[in-house]
A and B are shown apart, each in its own frame.
Chain A
Amino acid sequence: MTDETPSNEPVGARFREFQAGLDQPDGQRHRKPRRKGGDGEQLTVPPAEFASYYGRPVLKPPVWKYDIAGYLFTGGLAAGGALIGAGAQLTGRPGLRTVGRWTALGGVAASTYLLVHDLGRPSRFHHMLRVAKVTSPMSVGTWILAAFGPLAGVAAVAELAPLLPQHGVLGLARRIAPPIGTVAGLAAAATAPALATYTGVLLADTAVPSWHDAYPSLPFVFAGSALAAASGVGLIAAPAAETAPLRRLVLAAAAIELGGGHRLERQGLTSEPYTQGRSGRLVKAGRALLAVGTATALVSRRSRVLSVLSGAALVASSVATRFGVFEAGRVSARDPKYTVVPQRERLAESRSTTPV
């Protein structure tokens, strides 16, 4: 696969180039070494057998920019933040509650920006609100966000109540804000798990081979990743005395992500992008950081420095995982191998089992 962007050579330049190459006595193309990514060597490597049309992708690779990979992270972070905020609220941990709520608001604000920015026509983002379709995970996600965003916003803003004066109209606001924040925080937490996991369906409900085949795993990977990232922020920012639940949560998050995600490497040919190349390295980095972050979190009870380090590792793990999964899908759509070979195998199988 070459990642070269088409150069703006004059029309026919490449054609003349290989015409010239064909005139060589051995019929092999002799050309000057090009920019990086030359393919001369690939021709001699015996490849997996499949036919193609000039090696071109069968599919159109996703046009989503890294905005969407970023959104996978920020959306998960927001969801995790809301859950932690609610947990802290119900168990009387005000510092952690504040951190959770602000994480939720920050995450959802960033998510909204990234999602709108990725549109080909950002000014038409509200067209998403014309319809509600369960067959479109993006539509479902839009409505989840539309519910979650304002709730997370109210819950976070309610945290500002102590800054208001004691008396007058604002004093009244000061008194009613906390209960409103409580309700909004709990409601946001109720929608949070949907926000964190629907993105797995968002990616899987495409023709992109590595994403589609991963549909059983992705929601779990993303759920775990979301909890890990938000716990990471909590470990960094919340008062140390209130972080005990986070250490247990990190352990659970790692179990969910690794347990749910181990199948990524076991789904046949379309696993390849999760294990090879840049996407594979990102996925592996995500796992390694998750392991390190979790282990550090468990021993960091008495050390602020270790807490912060583990938190940073967990946040980084989530970023790496999201970008790795995103990139793996793009790789799988760009190489016809991942489309043609599994479909051929499926056909061969159905032909051998059903008598003609």
Chain B
Amino acid sequence: MPHTNALYGPLDPAPDAGYENPPPRMGFFTDTSVCIGCKACEVACKEWNGVPESGLDLLGMSYDNTGALTANSWRHVAFVEQPRSAGWATPAFAGDPDGPAISPVTAAVGARTSTDTGTDPGLDTGSPAAAARMSGGPEFLGMPGAQPPGRGTGEEGRTDFRWLMMSDVCKHCTHAACLDVCPTGSLFRTEFGTVVVQEDICNGCGYCISACPYGVIDQRKDDGRAWKCTLCYDRLGAGMTPACAQACPTESIQYGPLDELRERAAARVETLHERGVPEARLYGHDPNDGVGGDGAFFLLLDEPEVYGLPPDPIVTTRDLPKMWKRAGLAAVTMALATAVAFLGRRR
């Protein structure tokens, strides 16, 4: 008898998948407030998991030259430059040879860049108009400024700037659309509640790629199969910490039992609020959200979409019973229409 929440709502995924007495659900808590953008996670992941190179180019997206999560990048560090105060009075970019902070113009160019990640769809280009707006920060929505921040006011005035960094990863959803739609059973739920692709089973049908509400999973061009973060299933089995969390020098990436991480995250948000960072918020921590909560969740300093995350994802399979009903209705209509057409007059 499937769980009443099998498609939607809070659920412990490993027992639901049939494991008896599974270990506690393991996951990631990525605290972006301490991320320094060193990309050690990206590198450690590639090394441990033997992930192929994913293109080499300067994308014009701040220090982000990875661009997106792809089949060849299972961790992706996002960089957002915003003309907003982060509470420090250091002049932004004083004497920086890289020039000014992001402007609508540079962001628009950034949106048009890409690099051959060796995957499909890989790093898709974006909408320049939409990108141009991001540099204004949320309060400037729809009004791209004509000037890069600080220009015109002199560098002493450039204190109104902050840099957001965030190491993104597969969310290991409680209700993982990728897994639900996989027609080969290649994607499966591990005893740790994580979601893993079996590369010897995947036939590259690509269904998971359209189903993921976070745009995580992607296909390698050379071998045609889908690849994504495994939450280092091999290391977990040996009682080890995943490579990215192990490598992170600031403990921005924390690994552990999900219950514990959720408590720790709640405490961290409280601390940040006390310290005058009211914009700190959790993302993906709530078992009542549209995907039943993420196994890998985040502490963000701005709206999710600023980091390229969907603000309110809902697993597509929530509506699946209704979809099958509509299809059934359409099928019956079709059969009846044919019957009526043939039962009519002979000529």
Contact yes or no, B126 A54, CB < 8 A: yes
Contact yes or no, A130 B61, CB < 8 A: no
Binds A, one of B24-32, B201-209, B242-250, B270-278: B201-209
The docked-state distance in angstroms from the alpha carbon of A86 to that of B57 is 59
Contact yes or no, B305 A52, CB < 8 A: yes
The docked-state distance in angstroms from the alpha carbon of A120 to that of B207 is 11
Contact yes or no, A51 B303, CB < 8 A: yes
Binds B, one of A17-25, A163-171, A308-316: A17-25
Given contacts A55-B126, A215-B322, A344-B312, contact A196 B331 (CB under 8 A): yes
Q: Which residue of chain A has its CB nearest to the CB of B343?
A: A91
Task: Enumerate A122-151 residues with CB–CB distance to B below 8 Å.
Answer: 122, 124-125, 127-128, 130-131, 133-139, 142
Given contacts A244-B347, A248-B344, contact A43 B181 (CB under 8 A): no
The docked-state distance in angstroms from the alpha carbon of A206 to that of B114 is 25
Chain A nearest CB: distance from B242 CB in Å? 23
Given contacts A11-B56, A336-B126, contact A198 B305 (CB under 8 A): no
Contact yes or no, A125 B203, CB < 8 A: yes
The docked-state distance in angstroms from the alpha carbon of A135 to that of B17 is 13
Contact yes or no, A6 B203, CB < 8 A: no
Chain A nearest CB: distance from B162 CB in Å? 15
Instruction: Answer yes or no: A340 CB below 8 A from chain B CBs.
Output: yes
The docked-state distance in angstroms from the alpha carbon of A206 to that of B180 is 10
Q: Which residue of chain B has its CB nearest to the CB of A252?
A: B337
Contact yes or no, A83 B109, CB < 8 A: no
Q: Interface digits, B207-225 against A, CB 8 Å rule (1 contact, 0 not)? A: 1011111111111100111
Which residues on B sit within 8 Å (CB–CB) of A57?
124, 126, 215
Instruction: Answer yes or no: B334 CB below 8 A from chain A CBs.
Output: yes
Contact yes or no, B121 A201, CB < 8 A: no
Instruction: Answer yes or no: A356 CB below 8 A from chain B CBs.
Output: no
Given contacts A6-B116, A53-B306, contact A64 B210 (CB under 8 A): yes
Q: Interface digits, A324-354 against B, CB 8 Å rule (1 contact, 0 not)? A: 0000010001111101100110110000000
Most buried by A among B57, B112, B319, B334: B334
Chain B nearest CB: distance from A82 CB in Å? 10
Q: Which of B68, B183, B312, B323 contacts A142 (CB 8 A)?
A: B183
Contact yes or no, B129 A136, CB < 8 A: no
Chain A nearest CB: distance from B177 CB in Å? 6
Q: Interface digits, B59-71 against A, CB 8 Å rule (1 contact, 0 not)? A: 1110000011000
Given contacts A55-B127, A120-B219, A219-B331, contact A248 B305 (CB under 8 A): no
Contact yes or no, B210 A45, CB < 8 A: no
Instruction: Answer yes or no: A305 CB below 8 A from chain B CBs.
Output: no
Which residues on A sit within 8 Å (CB–CB) of B308?
52-54, 56, 58, 336
Chain A nearest CB: distance from B133 CB in Å? 7
Contact yes or no, A52 B205, CB < 8 A: no
Given contacts A219-B326, A248-B340, contact A56 B111 (CB under 8 A): yes
Contact yes or no, A53 B332, CB < 8 A: no
Instruction: Give the A-B contact count at a CB cut-off of 8 A.
Output: 386
Contact yes or no, B303 A252, CB < 8 A: no
Which residues on A sit within 8 Å (CB–CB) of B223?
120-121
Contact yes or no, B181 A138, CB < 8 A: yes
Q: Which of B104, B182, B339, B340 contacts A136 (CB 8 A)?
A: B182
Contact yes or no, A197 B331, CB < 8 A: yes
Q: Which residue of chain B has its CB nearest to the CB of A57?
A: B124
Q: Which of B68, B311, B329 contacts A56 (CB 8 A)?
A: B68
Binds B, one of A178-186, A222-230, A269-277, A282-290: A222-230
Instruction: Answer yes or no: B267 CB below 8 A from chain A CBs.
Output: no
Instruction: Answer yes or no: B316 CB below 8 A from chain A CBs.
Output: yes
Contact yes or no, B333 A256, CB < 8 A: yes
Binds B, one of A26-34, A106-114, A152-160: A26-34
Instruction: Answer yes or no: B1 CB below 8 A from chain A CBs.
Output: no
Task: Enumerate A71-108 residues with CB–CB distance to B below 8 Å.
Answer: 79, 83-84, 86-88, 90-91
Chain B nearest CB: distance from A40 CB in Å? 9
Q: Is the interface of A mostly helix, strand, loop or mixed?
A: helix
Q: Which of B100, B121, B335 contacts A193 (CB 8 A)?
A: B335
Which residues on A sit within 8 Å (CB–CB) of B42?
none
Chain A nearest CB: distance from B267 CB in Å? 21
Instruction: Answer yes or no: A216 CB below 8 A from chain B CBs.
Output: yes
Contact yes or no, B106 A18, CB < 8 A: yes
The docked-state distance in angstroms from the alpha carbon of A248 to that of B347 is 11
Which residues on A sit within 8 Å (CB–CB) of B103?
22, 27
Instruction: Answer yes or no: A207 CB below 8 A from chain B CBs.
Output: yes
Given contacts A63-B121, A64-B210, A220-B330, contact A4 B112 (CB under 8 A): yes
Contact yes or no, B330 A219, CB < 8 A: yes
The docked-state distance in angstroms from the alpha carbon of A127 to that of B142 is 48
Contact yes or no, B330 A197, CB < 8 A: yes
Task: List 8 additional contacts besides A43-B144, A55-B108; criterion CB under 8 Å.
Answer: A52-B126, A56-B67, A58-B214, A88-B342, A90-B342, A120-B223, A134-B324, A204-B323
User: Please, could you name 19 A-B residue pairs with CB atoms under 8 Å apart, sorted by A?
Assistant: A4-B125, A14-B113, A42-B127, A53-B305, A56-B123, A58-B308, A60-B217, A90-B342, A119-B206, A120-B220, A131-B183, A201-B320, A206-B181, A207-B313, A219-B326, A220-B330, A256-B330, A336-B308, A344-B305
Q: Give me the interface of A with B, judged by CB distance under 8 Å.
A: 1-2, 4-6, 8, 11-12, 14-15, 17-19, 21-22, 26-29, 39, 42-43, 45-47, 49-64, 79, 83-84, 86-88, 90-91, 118-122, 124-125, 127-128, 130-131, 133-139, 142, 192-194, 196-198, 200-201, 204-208, 212, 215-216, 218-220, 222-223, 226-227, 241, 244-246, 248-249, 252-253, 256, 260, 329, 333-337, 339-340, 343-344, 346-347
Q: Give me the interface of B with A, judged by CB distance under 8 Å.
A: 7, 56-61, 67-68, 78, 80, 99-100, 103-116, 120-121, 123-134, 138, 141-142, 144, 146-148, 151, 177, 180-186, 201-207, 209-220, 223-226, 303, 305-313, 316-317, 319-320, 322-324, 326-335, 337-347
